[in-house]
Structure 1
Amino acid sequence: MLRRGEAHSCPDDSQPARALVTGRSVLHHVAGAGIPAWMAPSESRREVLRALGLHSVLLVPLHSRGGTLGLVQFVRHRTSAPLDDDDLLLAQEIASRAAVSMTSASCLYAIYDPVSRRCSLASAGHLPPTVVPLSPTNRTSSVAELPEVPIGPPLGLGGLPFETAEFELPEGSLLVLHTDGLLAGRTRDVDVGLATLHDVLTSAPESLEETCDQLLASLLPGRPADDVALLVARTRALDPDQVAVIDLPSDAAAVSGPAASPPTSWRPGDWRNCPSPRSWSQRTGDERDPLRQESGPTTTDPPGDAHL
């Protein structure tokens, strides 16, 4: 409804201003000719809106990284069906994706190897994870740490390479990944949220579910202002006698020949004598080709626990 370059301001007591302050969406129905002043500050604009037959308005704040970037306004005219709560949910989803795009999408990639007990991380504009290494002398309390991870550009920007950080994690350590919305809010900056997260993790319970509950209760006492994702994982490891290794040439065809097939006499539990680069799962009966050419045990639990 505005010409390019034209500015529009809303009074402090108007619905758009309240939506920006509270961060809550608004569904407004225009009754008859009662177009509010914040939509049409002049009579000429009011006549334009009347001629269009505008009857429903959605005001949806743009949230990202714990703050409000602006406000999106959706209107409906011509058709007689008014905007409803289903339209509001769709508009909020659209606005959420738009806000992430406006601030550039970010990503954190982590790989943990249960054989070498090493973790590799790469960040595209995302906060590094929090690591709580298990102390061999005190298993009830450890120190939460932030690994030094080179922060690359957010996804989509391009032009710069991504660097990988690698470090060793003792078995039983905690790896905590989360979005910015868990730490930052309208009344709290990231540093304060990070300190609270570390305080909780230094005396985290054994249960990953209880750890998640404590983190959410401490960091999100009320309605969060941004989308929140939290992943808490505990590392587990494979002992050397649980791993079988075979050397193969750097040729994809090498894994499709007879040497890559399991022996006919192989039975679950005989994995130590199996010269195959594949791993078999007694529990699911499937066959997988891992990146590492190693086969693990078939009767133990997976080498790691995680809880969302």
Structure 2
Amino acid sequence: MTLGTPSVMPGHPAAISDLLRGTDPTFSFEFFPPKTERGERVLWQAIRELESLQPSFVSITYGAGGSNRTSTVSTTDAIAAETTLLPMAHVTAVNHSVAELRNLVGHFASGGVRNILALRGDPPGDPQGEWVAHPDGLRYAAELVELVKSAGDFCVGVAAFPEKHPRSPDWDTCTRHFIDKCRAGADFAITQFFFDWRDWVRLRDAVEAAGVNVPIIPGVMPVTNVKQIEKMAQLQGSEFPSDLADRLHAVADDPEAVRAVGVEVATELARKLLDEGAPGIHFVTLNKSSATREIWQNLGPVPVARS
């Protein structure tokens, strides 16, 4: 079976959970919705270039506080209608009432989108600021999982944090919250990006020890811009390894050299994760295709879609 070909009846959208039950790892990409016309062109160039790899699925992120909700919805709709790709929509609880969330989920269902990543979301303006629930909304991602599940035949994913969520007081507390989301009905999870494969193994083992058997897909981001990745890692509370930082800063004035290091490190990380039994790899593309395509080629025949 070729990469990304789901084993479902024609006309029926595949559930990511079904793909994960296959014998081979999934291989997927994350995009973010564009804010400008140029950004729109860059995104669709990346989508078309990566579409040829036949990934298992793709996802479209949701801005803090729903700041780019309209663009997220329209991009998800277009991918579902105009490409061969299987889209997963991100939905966040922040700044939305329960009624708005139900309408949004219903909209995706009407367009044939049945895979949703349920997230509490970051506060608007300052991702590390105080999180305030909508007066008619939800407080926790586990509640959003339950809402989506109650709305119909959806496959629901949640976020996982191998190094802990930046708002959590410690790793054990963060992991307990993650297990709560799984027990609320999550079908799978996708992690924030990280750099040490042992963090993913520790999370997987802790979840399995708690009697929870939810596939945790590691998120991997190839480094192509040093300052950008360092800032993103700081915002999400990820440890940026000092040895990697040293390698990147040594070639910081050479974009091609930075990219080469980033591709090498991401390839090694993805290969190790797959060797350790990861159910797939979810690549954060930053709406660029070349680095992801090169990693895919480096991995060779390993990352093919589950049948």
User: TM-score, structure 2 length as denominator?
Assistant: 0.25
Structure with the bigger RCO (C-alpha within 8 Å, sep 6+) is 2
1 or 2, which has the higher helix percentage?
2
Higher radius of gyration, 1 or 2: 1
1 or 2, which has the higher strand percentage?
1
